[in-house]
Amino acid sequence: MNEIQELQDQHYRGRAQNAIQDYLVRKLLIPKIYLDADWSGWKLDVLAIDRSGSGDVHGVQLIPWEPGQRDNHGWSAYLERTVSSAISGFANFPGHFRYLAVVCTEPQKQRWIPSEGIKNQSLAPDGVGRLGILYVSVAEEDAAVDVLLKPERFRSSKQVTELTDLYVAEHAANWEIRE
C-alpha cells in the first residue's frame, strides 16, 4: 500500500469513527465516548459508556469494505463471510452492547443486507443480547450511519462494572458532556 492510499484509509477510518460517535451521542443519554480504545485487551474503534461513565458499555469494531473486495461469489458473499468471522471474534466481548460497523468507501454502493444466518449468529447463545450491525458510508460528503441490525443488551457482570469504573478513572474521553 502506498503512502497516499494509507492516508486515505486513515481518513476514511476517522470519518467512520466520527459518524459512529455522532450516532451514539444521539442514541445514548449522557455518553462518554473513546476512540481507539483498549478495553481489557479488546481493540475497539469506538467505545461508549453511557450515563456519564456509569452506565451501559457499547463497543464498536469497524469492518472496512473497500471497492473491489469480493470473491468468486461476489461482494455480498465476501461480506457475509467477513461479518460472520467478526461476529465469532466479538462473541466474548465484556460489554452490554456490541456493534460491527461495515464501512463503505465506494460512492453509491448498493447497501448490503445481512442474511438470516448472520441475523441468527448475532444472537447471544442464551438469548439475552444481539450484536448490532451498522452500515457507515464515508464515500459521500456527509458520512452517514444506518442501522442494519438493531443491537439488544447482553447480560451484565461484575467484571463489566469493575472494568467500567477503572476505564473511566484512567482515560480521557474523546467526547463527553462537561459541567
Q: How do 144-149 and 42-49 pair as beta strands?
A: unpaired
Grid coordinates given for 49? 459508556
| pTM (2 d.p.) | 0.93
**pLDDT for the residue numbered 74:** 67
Q: Which residues of the chain have pLDDT under 50?
A: none
**pLDDT for the residue numbered 77:** 83
Which residue type does 21 have? Q
Q: Which CATH number fits domain 3-170: 1.10.8, 1.25.40, 3.40.1350, 3.40.600?
A: 3.40.1350
Q: Where are the domains of the chain?
A: 3-170
**pLDDT for the residue numbered 155:** 95
